[in-house]
Amino acid sequence: MIEKTFDAIIIGAGAAGMAAASGISRGGFSTAIVEREDHIGGILMQCIHNGFGLTYFKKELTGPEYAEEYVLERLDDNIKIYLDTTAVDIKTEGDCKRVITYSASDGIMALKARAVVLAMGCRERNRGNLGIPGTRPAGIFTAGLAQRLLNIDGYVPGKKVVIIGSGDIGLIMARRLSWTGSKVLAVVEIQPHPSGLPRNIAQCLDDFDIPLYLSHTVTRINGRNRVSSVEVSPMENGEPDCSRSFTLDCDTILLSVGLVPENEFSRKAGVGISHDTGGAVIDADMMTNIDGVFACGNVLHVHDLVDYVTAESETCGRNVVNYLHGKINKETQGAVVPGANLKYVVPNKYQPERENHFYMRPLILRDSAVIEAKAGGKTIFKQKLKYVKPAEMISLKIPAANCLGIPLGEKIEIGLIEEK
Amino acid sequence: MKKEIICIVCPVGCHLLVGQDRNKELTVSGNKCPRGEVYGKDEILNPQRTVTAVAKINSLKIGFVPVKTDKPIPKALTNKLLSEIYRKKVELPVKRGEYLMENFAGTGANVIFTRTVEE
């Protein structure tokens, strides 16, 4: 078995992995990335639509362009990238972590490092997670899988499509399929408002006259070998009212019903996972409960903008550099908890006396609101925000000056207050 | 004449109201930035869209290479453009930014590759 030692190993070469690796390598440390696909860039490579990089590169790019731009500007040649290589296990051995990988070309390898960065991204929720009744015919895809099959391999998933879920992935695929000559019959959304951005409702549904059924759900899938139709029912008091259901004849169903951070590997390492994010519980340096194991990107919490993934993961890279220099201080950190109207806040700890950068997801939809951080009963930071919605993650920096003087170990509570 | 539309220029998605003043000039309200005013007027007079698609390529690793128009084209020409793109058979190698098609239908918009494919 091949054994190799690095200072840091990153699992995943998508947006997060590349960003973390870039900072660690530039910090002068030997860095390896383990990537199971035959290319780097992760899901960016199948997101052929526009809208990436507005914040980070100050221009509007498609997913593949963002990936290439980042590689060109930030990745150096010293980073060892193992493609077609899957990390299957991780064990702590004293100071080091031992990552076992499988690949056709290298066989089984044991890669050792003092620092490991988890950057594996997400999986999609599927029909099994929803438990939609009916038969089990061919023609049911998660939206991301359909996107991959269509945009990379060139397979059109079907001709008459119903999309379940109005998140941005489903909306983008509605347009993509329409532009491929398929007919998208409807988007069915269980909530009373769409999950995706209004601009995507406009350019992906309205542009093609695709109906959006809010407060509806698919209550049955029909078809023997292939999907033949779906039964759609309106929601009434939180339950589908099947007495008012209608049928849509279709041959394909796309599911755009949520992403789940992919943490099977993390669990093997004994990493503690948060119930609110589906990702690791992390401290102020983005380290998990396992010393030297960090997490960033979609595997930590599901993002909307790749620009934020890059920013978060570059920070993680800087933290790993500090860790490898022995400059991490855990004792002075205090807990961070979500308060009013927030689903979660990451990281789960702060470091007093330095700037702290938090990401959080709102539970409310408002034209304006106020984010407020409190510690020890006092407000330490307040900021007005515009256009707050669950579909958009909030990125919040609390300046070092505001983090001074907090009693040691005191927790910070961050809440989103509605304005009167 | 009054039309309600959502601006698609940035993720904010302002709700625009496009109307006409006494001189029949178009007016736009509801935009939170100047780009929204331009979009609102264009949407009535000459709706345009940036189109993204994929073209067949003779690579062993990927079946199709992603492309996009380097500026918006008239919405009405979208299907014509897509048909032309789907008929193409691209040969290796291609570099990001190179042209698949130049000055499509006299619009001044080029179709460029958004991914470098070498093998």
Q: What are the chain A neighbours of B13 within 8 Å (beta carbons)?
A: 197-199, 202
d(CA A378, CA B40): 46
pLDDT in tens, A316-367: 999 999 999 999 999 999 999 999 999 999 999 999 989 999 999 999 989 8
Closest alpha carbon within chain A to B52 = A49
Task: Note the pLDDT of residue A41.
Answer: 97
Task: Note the pLDDT of residue A8.
Answer: 98
Q: What is the ipTM of this complex?
A: 0.94
CB A362 within 8 A of CB A388: yes
Is it the case that residue B9 has pLDDT exceeding 90?
Answer: no
Is it the case that residue A265 has pLDDT exceeding 80?
Answer: yes
- The verdict on a CB contact (< 8 Å) between B53 and A48 is yes
pTM over the 0.80 mark: yes
pLDDT in tens, B66-92: 999 999 999 999 999 999 999 999 999
Size of interface A-B (CB pairs under 8 A): 74
CA distance A64 to chain B (A): 6
Model confidence band, residue A126 (pLDDT cutoffs 50, 70, 90) = very high
Model confidence band, residue A409 (pLDDT cutoffs 50, 70, 90) = confident
Strands A293-295 and A239-240: unpaired
- The verdict on a CB contact (< 8 Å) between A203 and B96 is no
Is it the case that residue A252 has pLDDT exceeding 80?
Answer: yes
Task: Note the pLDDT of residue A419.
Answer: 79
What would the DSSP string read from start to end of A352-376? Answer: TTS-EEEEEEESS-EEEEEEEEEET
A195 closest CA partner among A392, A391, A420:
A391
d(CA B31, CA A59): 21
d(CA B18, CA A9): 54
Is it the case that residue A45 has pLDDT exceeding 90?
Answer: yes
d(CA A85, CA A39): 11
Please tell me the number of Cα atoms within 13 Å of A367 on its side-chain side: 5
CB A23 within 8 A of CB A318: yes
